[in-house]
Structure 1
Amino acid sequence: MKVLAIMLSLAAAPVAAADTVHFTTEDYPPYNYREGDQIVGAGYDQLLLMMKEINIPYTIEMMPWARAIALAETEPMHCVFTAAHIPERDKKFKWVEPVAVGRNFMVSHRKSGITVGNIEEAKGYIVGTQRNDYTQTLLENEGFPKIDLATDLKLTLKKLQSKRIDLMPISEQHYIELQEKGEELEAQFVFSEQIFAIACNANFPQDLLARMQGELDKLIADGTQAKIFDTYNLRYTNFGLVAAKP
């Protein structure tokens, strides 16, 4: 696996390696994803600006989500982004938020013939998602009996396209992007709404967390976050306006 990392060094006194912050993330557009040899995205860009102002050493590494979030949960100087802040994760991490606010649609293949209007109706179908993603927790909490787990979102999407699964939850923004690329997807209903955040280890230094939150607050207050959203076409629409094209 090709590792993408970025390191900034203090211009002043040297800092111990233990003071380096390690960020992990996954390929999850439009918040963080690969574009050639670079990591880009609405969450990634905000993180770079925040850490530039804080001016301490850090690394960013892209990897499968299960590993990315596990490192943040177990290693003191680790944080993961862009993570959904859901009740089941609340006490496991310290949070810097909101990096974004989003919705998930439950979607089907356009030619599947499936029509469901709510969670209870969707339980009669095979629903796929990526392993250890927050949507897995949501599906399990709602009592979905047939959950298909894959290593990443792209594999789940391939399963939907080949009709190996019937439904999958997908972010509103990614759904819009896939439709614009010609993918034959159809939104069935709004499955969930959530805050996206940077989730840091429960033992992460509180003073550093406060500095990170302060820098994010500045990005929101001065309009920088909104400009970043515009850059990545992050737009929030009424559900009926983003349904599958005829």
Structure 2
Amino acid sequence: MTLRLLIGMLLLSCGTALLAAELRLYTEDYRPMSFIDKGELTGMAVEVVELLVQRTGQETRIELVPWTRGYQQVQHEANSGLFSTVRTAKRDPLFQWVGPIAVGHTSFYARRGSGLKVRTLQEVERLQSVAVPKQWYSYEYLSDRGLKNLYGVPTPQQMTKMFKHGRVALLVANNLTLDEMLAEQGMRREEVELQFTFMDNSAYIAFSKNTDPQLVQRWQQALEQATRDGSLQRIQQRWFSEPYKVPGIAPTP
């Protein structure tokens, strides 16, 4: 047997082993990124993941769980990942990253006609309280900047419900998910007005440190190809009502 043939067989066996190991991905109920509709898991991020599964040939199981549970699981479980996850300096060393799969920004919104005008975090702090899902990076971001009137809630749905019924004056929302958050409470975008944007964010798939780096690289390469051939943009356009700019992706070294 020649050395070249032996190396080829070893590479083939390594690739087969990567595909044979089942990958478990966790996601949360967060429209329009991932949610259950008529008994089926769907959403923008789910479609992106399904496309990458198809292109990598990786056997994958997706589970809808509370975000906090998924976040903890992926830090300890091999061959696992979590989506969609905002990539931050604090989180960066905890995971291996594939993305971005979406780029947006997070802002404060008030009820239209309320007369409320806030333009700085100092002005926000003068309000009685600001409800934010405690597992969101927005909560961590605002807390780190000394906002004392933060009220942590368990879900985005609870935050939006409190906003609808006037229990809080401001809604914290990403521009890409605002419409769906409001629709769940029977509201429309026309009923709110932007106060100011306080954070840009990019959504990624976060893989556990115990996942094979070659597998993660294959997923990143598949995402880059989907960006180049327009597949990612077509998925975004189906799910987002406002014009969407496809995230630029640096080539994999």
Say yes or no: TM over 0.5. Answer: yes
Which of these residues, 206, 212, 218, is aligned with residue 211 of structure 1? 218
Which of these residues, 25, 45, 48, is aligned with residue 47 of structure 2? 45
Equivalent positions of 1:1-246 (< 5 A) are 19-110=21-112, 112-125=114-127, 126-177=129-180, 178=182, 181-182=187-188, 184-236=191-243
Letter in 2 for 1:42: M
CA RMSD of aligned residues (A): 2.4
- Structure 1 residue runs of 5 or longer lacking an equivalent are 1-12, 238-246
TM-score for the superposition, normalised by structure 1: 0.83
Structure 2 residue matching 1:145: 3-state secondary structure: coil
Change (3 A) 1:168 1:142: farther
Letter in 2 for 1:185: V
Letter in 1 for 2:69: R
Structure with larger Rg: 2
Q: Distance in 1 between matches of 2:187 and 2:171?
A: 18
Q: Distance in 1 between matches of 2:234 and 2:64?
A: 24
Structure 1 residue aligned with 2:8: none
Once the two structures are superposed, what CA deviation does each residue of 1:209-237 show, in whole Å capped at 9, x if it has no partner? 00010111111010000000111125348
Change (3 A) 1:135 1:14: same
Q: Distance in 1 between matches of 2:174 and 2:231?
A: 22
Cα pair 1:148 1:165 within 8 Å, conserved: no
TM-score for the superposition, normalised by structure 2: 0.81
Cα pair 1:65 1:152 within 8 Å, conserved: no
Change (3 A) 1:124 1:204: farther
Moved over 6 A (4+): 13-18
Q: Per-residue deviation at 1:147?
A: 1.3
Structure 1 residue aligned with 2:11: none
Q: Per-residue deviation at 1:20?
A: 1.4
- Structure 2 residue runs of 5 or longer lacking an equivalent are 1-14, 245-253
Change (3 A) 1:197 1:14: closer
